[in-house]
Chain A
């Protein structure tokens, strides 16, 4: 028999002191700057004003507030575009300047992890080409996709430790006529949302206190180069990454825990494309059903393309088997924008999502029929040729 009482008692006595020296890798900042001094590359500094946060082992990380160059996500922009739209909408509401570039490719890591039809040099060259494009504008890159974020951190690690890879990529960029420049920090958009959560709360127009949410942290956010993810002693005692949860708390949402929080969503890279039975099963049986059983949330909130897609889209087929599903899924940028008064369809674009989110919206006090009619009226103007595109002004009308 396991002496569980004694184990729990012992656990309470434990103290976890965050110590930068205990991190599994050296502090990359020093190396970036040393290599810059040696003429290996340039380092693009985080522009002021920035917010300083702490990472897993207590190292500091600078999060720029504005003057940001938005490295978009192929999945977000392609399948769940309200994700990206909400990020831009929040920037605009906070009065921050940013660039939404067209000189950007995907990180190509989805393909890399799914099909292996790439290699380290190609992946590093794609990353550094995108970073060079950002540096040309003097705006600082902010990475929307969890996989791009994790993959770019791996790439930074490889470039730091391999002079040969640096030489190879530097030569490629030279041929492209681009600088070999690396950002001082690789920043995920949800770290930015976390850094501005109090400002989001200041601009809050919708009461969210009746909402209970669960959080799914994205694998490629907190498992790849884990020591560079944001942690906060006030969020789960810094035992889990702080982003999303910190944002939800700031806007008054109750965050409920569930036992399979560490599990991946089931995306699997190749699986979501060609083995979706795996993705569906994992997403519903290990994540959604466990959340329903243990926390019964109104919504689950995550911060990566693959997670929103897999958790949301997988629930439809599971209904045919009378599985205990039915939890709307959205990103932290979407729920933060909603709290700030964003339109559920013109900004959050929730009609691209699969699982029924109307009960959640109605609980927040939104007349979903009226909101949909407003969106349809805007679409009708596009169909009739009265106007070509929906504008930011239309989105707030």
Chain B
């Protein structure tokens, strides 16, 4: 019984992974172009909404209310979904979710030796590594979102919540498609590549009997599920198979159908800068003569309920996965998503991953931010990401300080020393004088060079003016003396 988020257990700490990413000029150019484009479109579409802030306020209030009553709303959803002909399963963690999915797929494909399932973009399935589990069980998952196809064909990891393949350019995609689809004549024109994806998937949409999806919203009042998409692959996966399995994080539930009027305005504008994305699909259980004959929901915990205890941490679960914080983040802009070592990258990943799964590498994530606040400003549900980052930093420090190694770590000693100095004028002024004198070891003209320890991270890349001989308080004292003399 364990929480697992993607392949994070093998990830490097953020500063290490970021260093690798920073060397990849192609990746950085792709990420910049993509995030600049979406950011610009988003700004345009938000500007035309005079009630944007009011929508954010309501969205945040609905989510906060729902999470406070999550048990009631999940039970209500379960009841209504089953009344409509669906079946609800509950999964404590990744393994349990995968086991349920595999069990259902086997049950519905009895006698078939080669079983395929078609999938519509779901981050939650990446989170539980469902594709790995399916393959191990002899089931072939086929990703149908264009970007997810690119990621799957390249044996790659998603680098963005909404546009998972934004780190790839058209030439890379062309090469992948040529090889996987056996179409050596393909050009790098996006029209050509999109057409190839259409042709490649159409026959699978028609013949594969089982579909797997996630959900953007699960509606307690109706037991309905909503999937937001652009390409139509979602509609295909949700409509054409005989069996549909939807993996839904427990935080995706909203109370009522009318609440969609808030989220369907916020999500598309925040995610892709569209007034409305091309397609939204909603359904309740099974509909006679239309779409799948069997519908299963797997409600997933996988660490989410741990976040409910603390009011600030709980806010993390309000996320509607729009990716606006990634596009706005100046850190993500430089590194792309892979540096975060989790399928959840960028600012939201930096708070979500360490809370879902406490791992060594995720301890570096709360520090992967300058706290510039750009993420909070664009968040459609007003998650105060900088505040939560600081809160999580506090947790990392407290955990470190509980160990002898942590107590004796250079950073902790320096912080304790500084805190002590700041508590007394005498000690503070003494420290100032010590710094003024001590800097002589590193002084070259009016600059400091090759500082030791953490400060070395500064002088390695940046210049630094030497500490002036006279501090401000020295000036003030001498001035007062002059005045009284």
Whether both chains belong to one complex is answered with no
